Amino acid sequence: MALLVNRVNKHDLKEQLKKETFKRITLSFYRYVNISDPAELRDQLFMQWSALNCFGRIYLAHEGINAQMSVPEHNWEAFKEQLYSDSRFNGVPFKFAVDGNGKSFYKLIVKVREKVVADGIEDPSFDPSNTGTYLNAVEFNKAIEDPETIVVDMRNHYESEVGRFDRAFCPDADTFREELPLVVDHLKGKEDKKVIMYCTGGIRCEKASAYLKHKGFKDVNHLQGGIIQYAKEVKEQSLESKFRGVNFVFDERIGERITDDVLSKCHQCGAPCDRHVNCKNDDCHLLFIQCEACDEKMNGCCTEQCKTIAALPIEEQRALRKGRVKNGPECLAVYKSRLRPNLAEILKNSTLA
């Protein structure tokens, strides 16, 4: 069978999305479940969801599914019926975007991976299904008010930089794989303490809760549905939001604002800012925080070098890119030394710490 992929270029796809006259529903879902043949399921889902004009980024593995999607409103019932007809996914809970503007994705990507969440765990005795206790928004708020409770953010540093829960330990890590040992080390000697964990949609903290139990922690809890579901319950039930700032999301929106609190600073001038952007130099695309004034001054770029390259004719840019690695060593060095603040310092100076 030929590989099922979308061959239309990004620019044309984004223009088509802008011209759509119907609404889209932005959602995410996941489930840890045995999938014997992820590659076969991948092609099946791609064909089904393409026919329904669904967009999104979906990962499949033997351990389950992790999906962030945009579904046309008029195809919602057909999508749900189709998904639930598979016993492996029947009744899977959906998390709907706070800012569901329908512009979250512009094409459909379904990929097979070794794991739906890369964790670096090689221990064959680890059981990811032996998870901690789910907490809803009310229960999570109650738990976080207890000063004896340990709060752990299971997201990457650039996510927690712009939004986080009160008193949370935020690992200064780039990946979930890096975070797990950092969290275990941070909690060493506190195996009998109450631990509550959270992430964007629930999939990372669910696996992390199972890993902490595997490591001997007794009272492990995690936020059901993650920050996305928490924000929904807070709004519906008129609760106080213990989460402050922006919830980073992995789609075209980059972030959903939960509260008006601005917890971070522009990486270039230091002004209060929580606006993530990608460097406009196609040879870089570094993710960083940039205020509107610096955006105008730097033409959306992270360094003067990138600003110069991005201003060149496209043919010259392509010639420079040949044989080079995106997010090259020059930009990464500048980012680590100057653009990226130290997260521990941010938390130290924060009223939330």
Q: Among this protein's residues, is 54 annotated catalytic?
A: no
Which pLDDT value is given to residue 188?
94
H or E stretch at 163: strand 163-165
In sequence order, the β-bridge partners of residue 153 are 198
Q: What is the pTM of this model?
A: 0.78
Q: Which of 199, 273, 279, 306 is the catalytic position?
A: 199
Which pLDDT value is given to residue 118?
86
**Residue of 168, 219, 206 whose CA lies nearest to 31:** 206
Q: Provide the 3-class DSSP secondary structure of residue 164.
A: strand
For 87, 211, 274, 289, 291, the CA distances from 332, given in Å and listed in that order, are: 45, 31, 20, 14, 20
Calculate mean pLDDT across residues 4-16: 70
Q: Provide the 3-class DSSP secondary structure of residue 158.
A: helix
Give CA angle at 261 (247, 195), nearest 5°: 55
Which pLDDT value is given to residue 353?
37
Which pLDDT value is given to residue 127?
86
Domains of the chain as residue ranges with CATH: 22-112 (3.30.70.100), 133-240 (3.40.250.10), 276-339 (no CATH)
Which pLDDT value is given to residue 104?
74
For 78, 97, 173, the CA distances from 189, given in Å and listed in that order, are: 50, 38, 22
Which pLDDT value is given to residue 8?
64
Count of alpha carbons within 13 angstroms of residue 102, beta-carbon side: 16
What tens digit of pLDDT does each residue of 283-300 get?
A: 888 889 999 999 999 999
What tens digit of pLDDT does each residue of 160-215 get?
A: 999 999 899 999 998 999 999 999 999 999 999 999 999 998 899 999 999 999 99
For 13, 27, 58, 59, 331, the CA distances from 7, given in Å and listed in that order, are: 10, 24, 17, 19, 30
Residue 112 clears pLDDT 90, i.e. is over it: yes
Residue 306, amino acid: C
How far apart (Å, rounded) are the C-alpha atoms in residues 69 and 102?
Answer: 10
Which pLDDT value is given to residue 338?
56
Which pLDDT value is given to residue 252?
72
